[in-house]
Amino acid sequence: MKVARNRERIIQAGIELFNQSGAVAVTTNHIADHLRISPGNLYFHFRNKEEIVRELFDRMCDATYAVWKTGEKIDKKSLPTPAELIERSFDVFWNYRFFYREMYHLRRKDPLLARKWRSHLRKTVRLLQATYGRWVKNGVMRKVSDPKEMQMISDVVLVTSSSFLQFFESPERPASRRSVKQGVHHIARLLLPYHTDSSQAQLRAFLES
C-alpha cells in the first residue's frame, strides 16, 4: 500500500508542477525535491519524466472518455446537453492544462506519446460523433448530411478546444478559470446553428448566464 501511495504522490506532484511551471521546465529532481524524497525513490516508480507524463496523459484520456460516454448509460430523456458536456470536457482540459500548452513539444520529444496522442484524437472523434448521433435522435441537434461538413465540425471543435489555452494565455497573463469559460462559450456558439430551434433557446440561456 505504501508503494502505491508513494507512486500516487509522485503523480500528483507531477501534475501540480507541470501545470504551474510547464512539463518541459520541470525535471524529476524538481518533483523529488517538492516531495522531499530522494531521486532514487522516484526512479523506483518511474524511470524518467516521460513515464510520468505518459501516465498523466492516460489519466487525462480516461477522464475525457468518461465525459463523452456519459450518455451511453442513462435514460435518453436525461441525456446531457452539448453545453453540459463541453463544460465537463473543459474541466478536464483545465486539470491537465500543461498538455494543451506543450503537447507539440512533448510529442516531438517522445514518439510513444505522439502515437498515444494520435490514437486519442481518433477515439475522441468517434465519441463526439456517437454522442452527436444521440442528440440528433433526441431532437437536440440537426442532422448534418454532408460528410465533409461533419468532418469540418469535428476538426474545428478539436482544434479550438486543444489550443484555447495557448490563445488566451501569455507570460504576463496566465490562463485562469475565466479562460476556460471563454473556451466553453466559443465552442457552444460554434455549435449553436446546428441545434434545433427548441434547444437553441436553452443554449442561448446558457451563454447569457
Question: What pLDDT is attached to residue 32?
Answer: 97
Length of the chain: 209
42 and 121 housed in the same domain: no
Q: Collapsing DSSP states into helix, strand and coil, what is residue 38?
A: coil
Percentage of residues in the chain having pLDDT higher than 70: 94
Q: What is the dihedral of CA 8, 12, 15, 21, to 10 degrees?
A: -130
138 and 194 housed in the same domain: yes
pLDDT digits 0-9 by tens, 11-52: 999 999 999 999 999 999 999 999 999 999 999 999 999 999
pLDDT digits 0-9 by tens, 77-112: 678 889 999 999 999 999 999 998 899 899 999 999
Other C-beta atoms lying within 10 Å of the C-beta of residue 61: 18
CA Rg value for the chain: 19
How many CA atoms does the CB half-sphere of 147 hold within 13 Å?
0
- Dihedral (CA of 181, 207, 66, 161) sign: negative
What mean pLDDT, rounded, does the chain reach?
89
89 and 25 housed in the same domain: no
Q: Which of 56, 44, 50 is nearest to 24 (CA)?
A: 50
73 and 172 housed in the same domain: yes
43 and 54 housed in the same domain: no
Instruction: State the Cα–Cα distance between residues 113 and 141, nearest whole angstrom.
Output: 34
Q: Cell digits for 18?
A: 507541470
33 and 102 housed in the same domain: no
Is there a contact between 136 and 143 (Cβ–Cβ < 8 Å)?
A: yes
Question: What pLDDT is attached to residue 77?
Answer: 63
Question: Is the per-residue pLDDT at 70 higher than 80?
Answer: no
66 and 162 housed in the same domain: yes
60 and 135 housed in the same domain: yes
Is there a contact between 187 and 206 (Cβ–Cβ < 8 Å)?
A: no
Instruction: State the Cα–Cα distance between residues 92 and 89, nearest whole angstrom.
Output: 5
pLDDT band at 157; cut points 50, 70, 90: confident
Q: Which of 92, 73, 57, 59 is nearest to 184 (CA)?
A: 92
- How many domains does the chain fold into? 2
8 and 90 housed in the same domain: no
Question: What pLDDT is attached to residue 183?
Answer: 87
58 and 41 housed in the same domain: no
Name the domain boundary from 28, 47, 66.
47
Instruction: State the Cα–Cα distance between residues 66 and 37, nearest whole angstrom.
Output: 33
Question: Is the per-residue pLDDT at 74 higher than 60?
Answer: no
Q: Collapsing DSSP states into helix, strand and coil, what is residue 141?
A: strand
85 and 127 housed in the same domain: yes
Can you give the CATH number for the domain in which 142 is found?
1.10.357.10
28 and 123 housed in the same domain: no
Domain extent, residue 39, equals 1-47
